[in-house]
C-alpha cells in the first residue's frame, strides 16, 4: 500500500506540506513523489515508472533495494547497529582491511565516517596537523562538501553570503579540454602551462603554510571533466615539491564507477590520501579516509582527533563489505563494457543532434554537454533544464549541471547493475527529448 493511500493524502496536500514544513536546501524539487525503488527503476505515487540515470544522488551503484544490501541491513540491524565511538567491531575492522587490500601501497589505514563532506573534512584536518600548515588548494570548479573545510575548498557554488571561508584556501584553474583557457599552437588545452601558472600564483599568495591539495580525478559537479593524461602526475609532483599532501576525492568515482576500482588508477598516480563516500555505502551513509601508515602515525603522535557520533558505526560498515563483495563477484568487471556501450550511444546522439557539444567521461560516469552552437560553444542551462523536464515526463530521471558558468551538462551515472536494455531505453528517451525540445532553442 502506498504512503498516500495509507495517510489519505493526495498529491496537492503532499506538496502543500512540503511548502509549509520542508526547508528548501536546493533550487527546486523534482516534481514527483517516489513511493518505492527497485533496481534501476523508481515507482511514483501516480503509478509511473521512471528509469534512474543518477543512481539516486550518484550513490546507489548496486541499484535500489539490492537483495544483498537488504539482507545485510536486516541481519546487522538485529545484532549490531551503533556503538560508543571509542569501541570497534568486526565489520569496521574487516571493511578497513578490505579497503586497504583494494588500494595500492602505501594506502592501508582507514577511518570510517558518514558523508563525503565529513571524510574530506577529516582528511584536510589530518593533512593540516601532519604538515603543520593550513593552506588548501582545490580546482576552480570543485565540489567537496558543505562543512566548513570542505565548503572552503568548494568553488563551483554556494560561496556567497555565508561569511568568511577558512583562511588559506587557493584555487587552481580547472583543466577542461573542451573549454580550454590556456591553449597551445593547435588551440588545444596547454595544461602544463596552465598548471605551472596556477602554482606560480599559489606560491605568490602562500604564507609558506601549504598543507594539502584536494581534487576529484574526474570532476563531477564541474560537468564530468576528465583531466588530460599526465596531469595528475604533474599535480602530484608540484604538491610534493612544496611539502603538500595530495588528496583524491573519489566520492563519485571510487569503487568501479569508471571501470577501474578507483579512477586514479588510470593515471598511475597514488595519492597521499583518498576519500570515499557515496559509492562505498551504495546509498547508505558511509564514507572513509584511507592513508598511509606513516601519515597516520605522524597524525596520531600529534594528537589527531576526529571523534564523531557515527565514526566506525558497525551497521553501515557491514553494508560496505557487502558492496565490495558484490562488486568483486562480477558487477565491477562489467562496468567498462557497459560504459563503452553507453558512451557509444551518446556519441551516436551527437551525430544527429547539433546541440550535443561534447561527450566525455569513463565507465558509467558520462557527461553530455549541450550547446546552442558547436563552433562558439555557447552554453544553455535553460536547454538542459527543458530536456531534463521532458525526459522526466517520458520516464527518465536525468541530472543536469545548471550552474551558469558550467553550461548545461548532463551527469549520466546509472547504477552499475543497470542492464544494457535499460541503458538503451535511457538513450532512446534522451534521443526523443532532444528531438522535441532542441528546436525551440536553436
DSSP of 220-263: TTTTSB-PPTTHHHHHHHHHHHTTPEEEEE-TTTTTTTTSSSSG
What class, spelled out in words, does domain 3-66+333-440 have in CATH? alpha beta
Extents of the domains making up the chain: 3-66+333-440, 70-329
> What are the φ and ψ backbone dihedral angles of 246, each rounded to 5 degrees?
-100, 125
Round to whole Å and give the CA distance between 266 and 156.
25
CA distances from 245 to 33, 224, 437 (A): 44, 24, 46
> Of the candidates 156, 157, 266, 166, which has an alpha carbon nearest to the alpha carbon of residue 219?
156
Contacts (Cβ under 8 Å, ≥6 apart) of 193? 182
Q: Identify the pLDDT of residue 157.
A: 85
- 396 - beta bridge partners? 51
pLDDT per residue of the chain (442 residues) written in tens, 0 to 9? 344 444 446 899 999 999 999 999 988 899 999 999 999 999 999 999 999 999 999 999 999 999 999 999 999 999 999 999 999 999 999 999 999 999 999 999 999 999 999 999 999 999 999 999 999 999 999 999 999 999 999 998 888 999 999 999 999 999 999 999 999 999 999 999 999 999 999 999 999 999 999 999 999 989 999 999 999 999 999 999 999 999 999 999 999 999 999 999 999 999 999 999 999 999 999 999 999 999 999 999 999 999 999 999 999 999 999 999 999 999 999 999 999 999 999 999 999 999 999 999 999 999 999 999 999 999 888 899 999 999 999 999 998 876 655 568 999 999 999 999 999 999 999 999 999 999 999 8
CA distances from 380 to 195, 219, 388, 442 (A): 28, 20, 13, 10
What DSSP string runs through 90-154? HHHHHHHHHHHHHS-TTEEEEEEESSHHHHHHHHHHHHHHHHS--EEEEETT----SSHHHHHT-
List the grid coordinates of 408: 548545461
- 109 - beta bridge partners? 291
Round to whole Å and give the CA distance between 209 and 376.
41
CA distances from 393 to 16, 176, 420 (A): 22, 32, 22
> Of the candidates 66, 32, 29, 67, which has an alpha carbon nearest to the alpha carbon of residue 49?
32
Q: Identify the pLDDT of residue 5.
A: 45
How long is the chain? 442
- Cα angle, residue 208 at apex, residues 173 and 196 outer, rounded to 5°: 30
Round to whole Å and give the CA distance between 337 and 83.
41
CATH number attached to the domain at 70-329: 3.40.640.10
Round to whole Å and give the CA distance between 23 and 68.
34
Round to whole Å and give the CA distance between 115 and 251.
9
Q: Which residues are catalytic?
A: 143, 216, 249, 252, 278, 411
Q: Identify the pLDDT of residue 293.
A: 98
Q: Strand, coil or helix: what is 203?
A: helix
Crossing angle, helix 191-205 and helix 231-241, to 10 degrees?
20
What does pTM read for this prediction?
Answer: 0.95
Numbers of helices and strands, H then E, in the chain: 15, 16
Cis bond before residue 106 (omega within 30° of 0): yes
Q: Identify the pLDDT of residue 405.
A: 55
Q: Strand, coil or helix: what is 375?
A: coil
Amino acid at each position: 500500500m502506498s504512503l498516500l493511500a495509507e495517510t489519505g493524502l493526495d498529491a496537492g496536500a503532499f506538496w502543500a506540506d512540503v511548502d509549509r514544513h520542508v526547508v528548501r536546501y536546493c533550487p527546486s524539487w523534482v516534481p514527483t513523489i517516489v513511493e518505492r525503488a527497485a533496481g534501476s527503476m523508481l515507482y511514483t505515487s501516480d503509478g509511473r515508472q521512471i528509469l534512474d540515470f543518477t543512481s539516486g544522488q550518484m550513490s546507489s551503484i548496486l541499484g535500489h533495494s539490492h537483495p544483498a544490501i537488504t539482507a545485510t541491513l536486516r541481519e546487522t540491524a538485529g545484532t549490531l547497529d551503533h556503538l560508543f565511538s571509542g569501541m570497534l567491531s568486526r565489520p569496521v575492522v574487516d571493511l578497513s582491511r578490505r579497503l586497504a587490500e583494494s588500494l595500492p601501497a602505501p594506502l592501508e589505514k582507514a577511518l570510517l565516517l558518514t558523508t563525503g563532506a565529513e571524510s574530506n573534512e577529516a582528511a584536510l584536518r589530518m593533512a593540516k596537523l601532519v604538515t603543520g600548515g593550513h593552506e588548501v588548494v582545490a580546482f576552480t570548479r570543485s565540489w567537496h562538501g558543505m562543512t566548513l573545510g570542505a565548503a572552503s575548498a568548494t568553488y563551483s557554488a554556494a560561496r556567497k553570503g555565508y561569511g568568511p571561508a577558512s583562511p588559506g584556501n587557493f584555487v587552481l584553474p580547472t583543466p577542461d579540454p573542451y573549454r580550454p583557457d590556456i591553449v597551445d599552437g593547435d588551440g588545444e588545452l596547454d595544461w602544463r602551462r596552465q598548471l605551472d601558472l596556477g602554482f606560480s600564483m599559489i606560491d605568490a599568495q602562500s604564507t609558506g603554510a601549504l598543507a594539502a591539495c584536494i581534487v576529484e580525478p574526474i570532476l563531477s559537479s564541474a560537468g564530468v571533466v576528465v583531466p588530460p593524461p599526465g596531469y595528475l602526475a604533474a599535480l602530484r609532483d608540484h604538491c610534493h615539491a612544496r611539502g603538500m599532501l595530495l588528496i583524491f576525492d573519489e566520492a563519485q568515482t571510487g569503487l568501479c564507477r569508471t571501470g577501474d576500482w578507483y579512477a586514479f588508477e588510470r593515471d598511475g598516480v597514488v595519492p597521499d590520501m583518498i576519500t570515499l563516500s557515496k559509492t562505498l555505502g551504495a546509498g547508505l551513509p558511509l564514507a572513509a579516509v584511507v592513508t598511509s601508515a606513516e601519515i597516520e602515525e605522524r597524525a596520531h603522535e600529534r594528537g589527531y582527533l576526529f571523534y564523531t557520533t557515527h565514526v566506525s558505526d558497525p551497521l553501515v560498515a557491514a553494508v560496505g563489505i557487502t558492496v565490495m563483495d558484490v562488486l568483486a563477484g562480477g558487477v565491477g568487471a562489467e562496468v567498462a563494457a557497459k560504459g563503452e556501450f553507453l558512451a557509444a550511444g551518446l556519441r551516436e546522439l551527437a551525430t544527429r543532434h547539433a546541440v550535443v557539444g561534447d561527450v566525455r567521461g569513463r565507465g558509467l560516469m558520462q557527461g553530455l554537454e549541450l550547446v546552442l552552437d558547436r563552433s562558439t560553444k555557447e552554453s544553455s542551462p535553460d536547454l538542459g533544464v527543458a530536456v531534463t523536464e521532458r525526459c522526466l515526463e517520458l520516464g527518465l530521471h536525468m541530472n543536469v549541471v545548471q550552474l551558469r558558468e558550467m553550461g548545461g551538462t548532463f551527469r549520466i551515472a546509472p547504477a552499475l547493475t543497470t542492464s544494457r536494455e535499460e541503458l538503451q531505453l535511457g538513450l532512446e528517451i534522451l534521443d526523443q527529448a532532444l528531438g522535441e525540445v532542441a528546436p525551440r532553442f536553436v
